[in-house]
Structure 1
Amino acid sequence: MAKFTIFHSLVINFIIFSISTFHANIVNGIFCEEVTDAIAIKREEKTTHLHFYFHDIVGGQKPSVVKIAGPSNSSSAYGFGATMMMDDALTEGPEISSKLVGRAQGIYGIAAQEDVSLLMVMNFAFTEGSYNGSSISILGRNPVFNDVREMPIVGGSGVFRLARGYALAHTIRFDYKTGDATVEYHVYVSHYGAEL
């Protein structure tokens, strides 16, 4: 009978270590995998400029925005704490009857006590042309009485995967009686496209 040596013990330990490491790599590979540079460079980053109009309809029989939370009696003249849910039309032209290109869906709230500055958390969900089914996510501050407001793009989906950039908003109409507004948007978004 062969003698069990330190060498045999080392070989057995190495085999056990190799099997356990191989098993761990398989398990970890299912959950997390590094993307190689070859895959990442298949599509080059590009910047797209989008121009459209956002229609926030507060009044009338079919509003596109409704209050979902906020104080019943705010001590702030600006409505601090009021929170709204929106599903606003995005159109090609400034009239709400112009061609629909998508929807602005999300939440905004009055986040300042001394002025009307909104916290915007919204997606521009596009329904037209090559952007149909793609979206851009916005998260930022919107001081509505400034002529032009800049908000960051924090992500996207579809054609706009890995999106980053900014959106410039400019109010072209505001009805003080109803609260309805039409806002012109220029969006500059850097992205890689749908195929990664």
Structure 2
Amino acid sequence: MRGNTALATGMASFLGAFLLLHGICQAKLGLGEPKVSRIEFHLHDLLFAEKPMAVVVAEANTTKASPTLFGAVVIVDDPMTEGPELTSKVIGKAQGVYALSSQSEISLGGTQFCIR
């Protein structure tokens, strides 16, 4: 199950940064100060499972030998849950595509998600 924890952590970091930047843009556009809310969810992104939630749809010739899966393009249909267990109540989904874009660490580039 190589990289599942790191992938989920990277995706959660990306989503957190997106939400933070959204608030900053709102203030700079003169739309007033954004309201601050704390949300907590757990995103499950399993590439290597009996029923995967993420599927590699393209990869470079060197991807399989890379510890960071550099060069892989992944389609996701990930559940977001209230708790860290997969059996927790599903409160949304993250659907979209990402590419693993670093040779030295888990890094998601070209990330596009639709959160429901």
Same-fold status (TM-score > 0.5): yes
Q: What do the CA deviations read for 1:88-133 (whole angstroms, capped 9, x no partner)?
A: 11001111111110001111211112322122322321xxxxxxxx
Query: How many aligned positions are there?
Result: 85
1:100-139 pair list within 5 angstroms: 100-119=90-109, 120-125=111-116
RMSD of Structure 2 on Structure 1 (CA)? 2.5
2:90 is equivalent to residue 93 of structure 1: no
Question: Which structure shows the higher strand fraction?
Answer: 1
Tell me the distance in 1 between the aligned counterparts of 2:39 and 2:112: 19
| Alignment-derived partner of residue 175 in structure 1 | none
Q: Mean Cα displacement is larger for which, 103-112 or 67-76?
A: 67-76
Q: Using the alignment, how far apart are the partners of 1:123 and 1:54 within structure 2?
A: 13
Correspondence for 1:54 among 31, 43, 49:
43
Q: Which runs of 5+ in 1 are unaligned?
A: 1-39, 126-196
Give 1:82's aligned amino acid: A
- Structure 2 unmatched runs, 5+: 1-29
User: Could you say what secondary structure the match of 1:51 adopts?
Assistant: coil
Q: State the Cα deviation string for residues 10-31 of structure 1 (Å, max 9, x = none).
A: xxxxxxxxxxxxxxxxxxxxxx
- Structure of higher CA gyration radius: 1
Pairing 1:73–2:62 present:
yes
Equivalent in the alignment of 1:10: none
Q: Percent identity?
A: 36
* Structure with the largest fraction of helix: 2
* Runs of 4+ residues deviating >4 angstroms: none
* Distance across 2 between alignment mates of 1:44 and 1:123: 25
TM-score normalised over the length of structure 2: 0.60
Match of 1:83 in 2: 73
TM-score, structure 1 normalization: 0.38
SS of 2:50 mapped into structure 1: coil
